[in-house]
Amino acid sequence: MRDRKSTYGKCPGEESCPVEFTLDIIGGKWKGMLLYHMIEGPKRSSEFRRLFPTITQRMLTLQLRQLEEDGIVHREVFQQVPPKVEYSLTAFGRTLEPIIDSMKTWGETYGNDSTSGWTGSGEVESDLYNERRTASNHRYS
């Protein structure tokens, strides 16, 4: 695993924050989307480039390498001509599947949809959101 910050932002009553740790692993401009597409099965670099035409090869390599170093992604090189490399989720990486699915659901709910309650100004006009926010504030105060 990559070297991590020795201390993360503290969560109340926690020595280190598990949310910060998780975001450190899956955070990054492309990591979420890479993980989402690897849930479907192994992918080659060229497949990612087709899915994300604006990603540079350098950035793709960096993001995949970090996920590999963290034990989330397995890189398999097939000895053939031309060489073939596939990226897939490890068993440990598969443990992120429910998190990625939840993020997808959240994005569908609060994304660019006029019925989501998101106003675009940083305000959410949703009773469900406001109820959760109030409950969350009580939990961490």
Q: For residues 94 and 122, state if they share a domain.
A: no
92 and 121 belong to one structural domain = no
Least confident of 21-25, 43-47, 51-55, 75-79: 21-25
Residues 79 and 133 in one domain: no
Q: Collect all residues with Cβ–Cβ distance below 8 Å to 39 and sequence separation of at least 6.
A: 89, 97, 100, 101
Residue 8, pLDDT above cutoff 60: no
- Phi-psi region at 71: left, alpha or beta (left = phi > 0; alpha = psi -120 to 50): left
- The chain-wide mean pLDDT, for the chain, equals 82
Residue range(s) defining the domain that contains residue 27:
18-110
Whether residue 22 sits in one domain with residue 61: yes
pLDDT digits (tens, 9 = 90+) for 54-67: 999 999 999 999 99
Read off the pTM: 0.71
Asked whether residue 121 falls in the same domain as residue 106, the answer is: no
CA 123, CA 79: separation in Å to the nearest integer?
Answer: 53
Query: Does position 119 have pLDDT exceeding 90, yes or no?
Result: no
